[in-house]
Each structure stands twice: as C-alpha cells, then as structure tokens.
Structure 1
Amino acid sequence: MTSTARTDFVRPDEAAMHTADVALGRMTKYLHSHHGKRNIRLVVDGDPKNTLEVPLAAIELLARVLAHMAAGQAVSVVPAHAELTTQQAADMLNVSRPYLIKLLDDGVIPHRKVGKHRRVRAEDLLGYKRQGDQKRRAIADELGELDREMGLY
C-alpha cells in the first residue's frame, strides 16, 4: 500500500546556492573521470575512518539536486511510487488545483480515488510533465526552423 508523499521543498539561500554550485562542479568532474563505477566512497569531514559507500545512482541524483539548488530553485525528493494529493500535484505542475482536477477527470493523468479524495502517483504526474515538456520543445524547434526559413533568424 502506498501512502501520501511529503513534498517539503528546500529553498536555497545565497550561501546554499554558492555551496551547491561549488559542490556540483567538483562532483561533475569526479563523475566524468570515474564513470562505470557502481558505488562511490565518500569521506565525511575529512576523516578517512568515516567513509560512506553510496550507489552511483544516488550520487547522480544528488548532482541533479545540486544543479537545481545552484540555480536558486526549490527542491523536493519524492519517490516515484508515492501518491500525491491534488494540491501537491497542482503545486508540482505549477497549475491551479481546479485545472489539475479537470485533467484528472478528463483522463489525461491517471489517478485513483480514496473515499472522496483523488490521489495521483508521482510517476504518472512526472510522465505527464515530461510529455508536455517534449511537446513544447518540438514546437519551439518548429518555430525556430520557420524563423530560419523566413530569414528572420
């Protein structure tokens, strides 16, 4: 059984943005020079006796989190199987709750009902978001091509 997800966001201040940017640069260099590894060993507080072994996938995810933080964006980690309330889902899409409910009722985004309440799987919501992003990129590419054909660019 899945439970409703927590979607607490971490909003970086200027100092956190700078720290994230520096860490991202170092982490990116490390990942490029050590690709193919399954796990990464991290030394905590410079103490070789205090190491952590972390899956590479977790480090790659951390790099994405750092990239968003470095850009000043709020970040939250939500498991793919987690279920979101309609308000959480609307917040993640940056749309109103009534608009999201229309998408759900129209069958655009899968959901289930728990009593009178709708629940949306994070995985389904992110799939919808990815499709929209792909459509917007394709339209932008097409408009760019038309600009070039017309000599406007």
Structure 2
Amino acid sequence: MAIKLTASEEIKQVAQNLLANKFKINVEKIAENETVNIPIPVDLVNFVQEIIQEIAQGNSIILIPNSQEISTTKASEILEVSRQHLIELLESGELPIPFRRVGKHRRLRVEDVINYKNKIDEQRLKTLEELAKQAQELKLGYE
C-alpha cells in the first residue's frame, strides 16, 4: 500500500511552523486519557524531519514499502529513463533488476529499483569526481 500526502497550503504551513520551532512529541492514549513519553529513535526523527521539510516546500510525499511491486512506468520514472528503454534493458538482461510478469505486464520490487538507482548514482558521482580531478590536473580551467 502506498501512502501519498499532498502538501495543501494548510499542511504546508503546519510543516513550516514545525520546522521554525523546536517541538516535543507526546503521545496521548485516548482510551486512558493520559500522556506518555515514548522514546523515538534518532533515525526516525530525522526521517520525519525530512518529510516535514519536503512538505514545507510544497512537495508531495509518497511512501511505498520496499516489498511493494511497481510497474515499469513507475520504475522508469524513478530511474529517469524512458519506459521503453527500461523494458529493453530488462528483457535483454542488461539491467540486473529482477522482475516478474503479470499477464503482459512486468512488476519490479521498489527495493530492487531503489538499490539499483543508488548504485548507479554512486558510480556517476565517482566518475564525475574522476573527471574533475583530471580536468584540474590538465589545468583546463576548472579550478
């Protein structure tokens, strides 16, 4: 199940207010009418803060469980390639992302697509750093 939150003006304003002020999270047990403090891991707080920052900027957020399968259309959007190119890469075996067929359609796990995207983004960054280093060594004016 995917969860989508579209940043309405009201939600955007609340998110901006949250970012502008330090805040403490309390959880109220409705049935027992009491407030309790629940320790929240720092990673979860950072995650929530990133979501709030995106919303404060007016961006929509979609949360998709890693195990969920997506269409080639969604996968191509994530990988920033055309759907047809993605299908060609999948069918040729050139793209190391497993998929399954549902009728005529292909389904890919979100986790596999995201992991592949992170891997190629990391490779691109390393290549750019190498090119920048070479340009500096050759004194091509990129100092």
TM-score (norm 1): 0.66
Match of 2:128 in 1: 140
Match of 1:80 in 2: 66
Question: In the TM superposition, what is the alpha-carbon distance from 1:115 to its structure 2 partner?
Answer: 2.5
Structure 1 unaligned regions, length at least 5? 31-40
Counterpart-to-counterpart distance in 2, 1:87 and 1:134? 23
Name the stretch that deviates more: 67-76 or 134-143. 67-76
| Letter matched to residue 120 of structure 1 | L
Match of 2:26 in 1: 43
User: What are the Cα deviations for residues 92-147 of structure 1, in whole angstroms up to 9, with x where unaligned?
Assistant: 23332212212321331211112322110000000111011101111111122122
Counterpart-to-counterpart distance in 2, 1:131 and 1:113? 25
Q: Is the 8 A contact 2:26 2:38 kept in 1?
A: no
Q: CA 1:139/1:53 → structure 2, altered by over 3 Å: closer, same or farther? A: same
Q: Is the 8 A contact 1:12 1:72 kept in 2?
A: yes
Q: How many residue pairs end up in the alignment?
A: 134
Q: Is the 8 A contact 2:72 2:87 kept in 1?
A: yes
Counterpart-to-counterpart distance in 1, 2:55 and 2:34? 30
Q: Is the 8 A contact 1:42 1:54 kept in 2?
A: no
**1:64-143 correspondence to structure 2 within 5 Å:** 64-107=50-93, 108=95, 109-143=97-131
Q: CA 1:20/1:53 → structure 2, altered by over 3 Å: closer, same or farther? A: same
| Letter matched to residue 135 of structure 2 | D
Q: CA 1:115/1:93 → structure 2, altered by over 3 Å: closer, same or farther? A: same
Counterpart-to-counterpart distance in 2, 1:84 and 1:90? 10
Counterpart-to-counterpart distance in 2, 1:89 and 1:76? 14
Structure 2 unaligned regions, length at least 5? none
SS at match of 1:53: coil
| Letter matched to residue 6 of structure 1 | A
Q: CA 1:26/1:131 → structure 2, altered by over 3 Å: closer, same or farther? A: farther
Q: Is the 8 A contact 1:86 1:97 kept in 2?
A: yes
CA RMSD of aligned residues (A): 3.2
Q: Is the 8 A contact 2:2 2:65 kept in 1?
A: no
| Percentage identity across paired residues of the two chains | 28
Counterpart-to-counterpart distance in 2, 1:140 and 1:17? 36
Counterpart-to-counterpart distance in 2, 1:88 and 1:132? 17
Question: In the TM superposition, what is the alpha-carbon distance from 1:74 to its structure 2 partner?
Answer: 3.5
SS at match of 1:113: strand
| Letter matched to residue 96 of structure 1 | S
Q: CA 1:137/1:84 → structure 2, altered by over 3 Å: closer, same or farther? A: same
TM-score (norm 2): 0.70
